[in-house]
Structure 1
Amino acid sequence: MSFAEGVRDHLPEGMHLPDAFAVTFDWLEAQGWGGVFRQADPGAFSSRYLSIYPPEQMDQPGGSYVLFSFEAGPPLHAPPPEAMARISMIAQIAGDGGTLSLWLDDTGKQWFVVFNHGTPHVLTDDPLKVLQFLAMGYPEPGALFDARATPQEEAGGDTLTLPTAFREFLEGQFSVHIPARASDLGIVVPPDEVEDPIRHWLDQVMPEPEIGAIPGMTAENPYIITSELREVLEDEGIAAIREAYEFVIEEE
């Protein structure tokens, strides 16, 4: 099964893989730029990825963090069935977990959305603009805060390793140009406090829980560190939890 076929098979009902992405996935796979995440189940489709770089360039300094991969639902804790049925990740685009996902709105229209530290925003509904954006060379496209910045400005003084072959493929296959800035594509990254369609929708299907329902926020509902959790986190991790939550207890 090809990567594109796998994505199609795993997308929820009503969602679709845009043709431009299918063609791109097929090209990346034909170049041999796919793989399986380390320490992942090799039999699970979610363990597979496609890179926008050849294998010998994937770990070079200054590369852009873009790995096409699939995972159902949003990158949020305990999403409800409504979110699982309407959001699917199709790429990891930041080292801290930022993602590119597909979102089906209430009218049945499909959008590309970015989740940056769990905060989403609509990117665009145009697949080609998304591919152009991913080819620009931003170090972490999913962590971009100012779409008016160039990739070099975003990288500061660091040297960039641009995905040259990927850019050339997109330009030749789709007759598009890779612009200097994300804003040249009409992309805007709204501040966290600004209203955005995907934020509004998630607020409806995933309302903020009451403080008392969040472990560690009240004495009646403390964050419980089990013996198993202690073994995994060790002293440094336990200290971080105690700093983050006011009410923490450890099991004997």
Structure 2
Amino acid sequence: MTLPEPFTQTFDWLEAQGWGGIFTRLDQEAFSSRYLSIYPPDVRDEYGASFVLFRFEAGPPLHDPPPQAIARITTIAKIAGDGGTLSFWLDDDGKQWITVFNHGIPHVLTDDPIVALQFLAIGYSEPGALTDPNVTPLEAQYGDPITVPKAFQDFISATFGVSIPARASDLGIVIPPESAPDPLRAWLDEVMPEPEIGAIPGMTAENPYIVTPELREILGDAGVAALRRVYEFVIEEE
């Protein structure tokens, strides 16, 4: 697994702007506790701001992934309030893809890191929850205000000589329906067969989805609320 140079340049720039931080309820010394935002700290939590926090996590955002999934999937950003992520996936041919896990449902996004950065710069409220790439951020918000990451957009445009389009489809991005075939989905079906319903956290009272204080800080109120909409049995640790 490698970090593409455009991401390295982007992370260096964000850090130089002072747009980083540490999740206070996590281990302060752990690298995975650190994050970089695409907004200044005083704008990051504004209404309509895009949910994009770059941070490292080994493996996919799935329950109990096997070693081969951890070895060949690296998560580099949270891009939705419910824990949706941007991740790298190494396929059987040794090619590295940039992927999205939307509510745990994965799909290949692109093999071009600059296209992935353009996608994140468009300004969707939750890029990881996007299901229709043909809409603009304003249309995806049903007309509610959006907070455009203008400085981040300007950096991507100036550094890589590209424009920031109005919608994801302008980048050639296609988001397959949940039931559609996808290379990453097919690979995960091989290495992570569908568990019995009782083995899935949140599906039964005997095996609830447990939200730890650390997870709550990462997800926020909106993310926890989204979990409760998806899973019937969710409890929070004090």
TM-score (norm 2): 0.85
SS of 1:129 mapped into structure 2: helix
1:120 to 101, 106, 115: 106
Partner of 1:34: 20
SS of 1:133 mapped into structure 2: helix
Residue 181 in structure 1 maps to residue 164 in structure 2: no
Partner of 1:250: none
Alignment identity in percent?
66
> Could you tell me how far 1:112 is from its partner in structure 2?
0.5
Partner of 1:8: none
Partner of 1:43: 29
One-letter identity of the residue aligned with 2:50: S
Distance 1:47 1:153, change over 3 A: same
Partner of 1:59: 45
1:223 to 180, 196, 206: 206
List aligned pairs for 1:205-216, cutoff 5 A.
205-210=191-196
Distance 2:31 2:198 in 1: 38
Alpha-carbon RMSD across the aligned residues, in angstroms, is 2.2
Distance 2:207 2:133 in 1: 41
Offset from partner CA, 1:156-182 (integer Å, 9 cap, x none): 121111000000011111100000110
Residue 74 in structure 1 maps to residue 53 in structure 2: no
> Could you tell me how far 1:187 is from its partner in structure 2?
0.4
Distance 1:169 1:211, change over 3 A: closer
Distance 2:43 2:152 in 1: 12
Residue 107 in structure 1 maps to residue 93 in structure 2: yes
Is residue 6–residue 113 contact of structure 2 (8 Å, CA) maintained in 1? yes
Distance 1:164 1:71 in 2: 27
> Could you tell me how far 1:244 is from its partner in structure 2?
4.0
Distance 1:223 1:44, change over 3 A: same
Distance 1:216 1:55 in 2: 33
Distance 1:38 1:158, change over 3 A: farther
Distance 1:132 1:125 in 2: 13
One-letter identity of the residue aligned with 2:168: A
SS of 2:42 mapped into structure 1: helix
**Larger C-alpha radius of gyration, 1 or 2?**
1
Equivalences, count: 214
**Which structure carries more relative contact order (alpha carbon 8 Å, separation 6+)?**
2
Distance 1:172 1:22 in 2: 16
Partner of 2:74: 88
List aligned pairs for 1:134-149, cutoff 5 A.
134-149=120-135
Gaps in structure 2 of 5+ consecutive residues: 214-227, 234-238
SS of 1:57 mapped into structure 2: coil
Gaps in structure 1 of 5+ consecutive residues: 1-14, 233-239, 246-252
Distance 2:202 2:146 in 1: 42
Report which stretch shifted further, 114-123 or 207-216: 207-216
> Could you tell me how far 1:210 is from its partner in structure 2?
3.9
Distance 2:72 2:154 in 1: 33
